[in-house]
Amino acid sequence: MFPCYVSGKGMYATGQTWLFKTTVISVLESSGVGYDTRFHYYRQQYPDTDVSHLARMVCDPIEYYDKDWPEYLANKDPHKDEEEAVVDFVLLRDCQFQREAQGAIYCYDEAGFGSGINTMRFINAGKPIIGFYNCSIGNQGINLSNILQLKVVYPNLVTLVEYSSPGEISDQVIRWINKVSKHI
């Protein structure tokens, strides 16, 4: 099974990104070709939670559901405020999820600064990315030309797919995993 980092807009995501992420996580879980490293980790904390509910839950910021967060916060460095503790905790977990992943699956529909940073982390690590974008959603402050540049500048690492409905995502994800997993 191919470990993937499923990502897109974080804290301020809308239903559009949530639908993308939950669709991808469900495809990974049902197909057996791969798994989302974040979902896989939290499956251990929430073993009895329904797949679709857990998939939706892991779309939210981890401090909302990670069972270790309250203890981490209680034992934080006294010179740091809660916001700094959140940053430390999120980076700790997120770096773990990224290290475990052999590739990333991105929704660029609501991409922001964080998506850009994490995309470049995968590129700098030499890990392949498949990124999805939906042109029909209109301009939501996304610079599509910046996203398209990824494919031009990093053609061996970045695959970009334009889609118009979530139903088009599943087959693309499975094909991409089957292709890239042969080269890793």
- Predicted model pTM: 0.92
Q: Which residue has the higher pLDDT, 106 or 114?
A: 106
In this predicted structure, what is the pLDDT of residue 182?
Answer: 85
The SS3 assignment for 159 reads strand
- Does 138 score more than 60 pLDDT? no
Domain enclosing residue 90, as ranges: 2-181
| Dihedral angle, C-alpha 181, 103, 100, 9, nearest 10 ° | -150
Are the C-beta atoms of residues 105 and 17 closer than 8 Å to each other? no
In this predicted structure, what is the pLDDT of residue 139?
Answer: 57
In this predicted structure, what is the pLDDT of residue 87?
Answer: 93
What is the maximal distance between C-alpha atoms in the chain?
49
Q: Nearest CA to 43 among 57, 31, 64, 33?
A: 57
- Does 179 score more than 90 pLDDT? yes
Termini Cα distance of the chain: 12
**Ramachandran quadrant class, 14 (left: phi over 0; alpha: psi -120 to 50; beta: rest):** beta
pLDDT band at 140 (very low <50, low <70, confident <90, very high): low
pLDDT, tens digit, for every residue of 58-96? 988 899 999 999 999 999 999 999 999 999 999 999 999
Query: What long-range pairs does 39-42 form, CB within 8 A, spacing at least 24?
Result: 39/6, 40/3, 41/93, 41/96, 41/97, 42/66
- Does 153 score more than 80 pLDDT? yes
pLDDT, tens digit, for every residue of 13-47? 666 778 889 999 999 999 999 999 999 999 999 99
How many distinct structural domains can be found in the chain? 1
pLDDT, tens digit, for every residue of 108-121? 888 778 888 899 99
Kindly report the CATH number assigned to the domain that includes residue 111. Answer: 3.40.50.450
Q: What percent of the chain has pLDDT over 70?
A: 92
Q: What percent of the chain has pLDDT over 90?
A: 70
Are the C-beta atoms of residues 97 and 41 closer than 8 Å to each other? yes
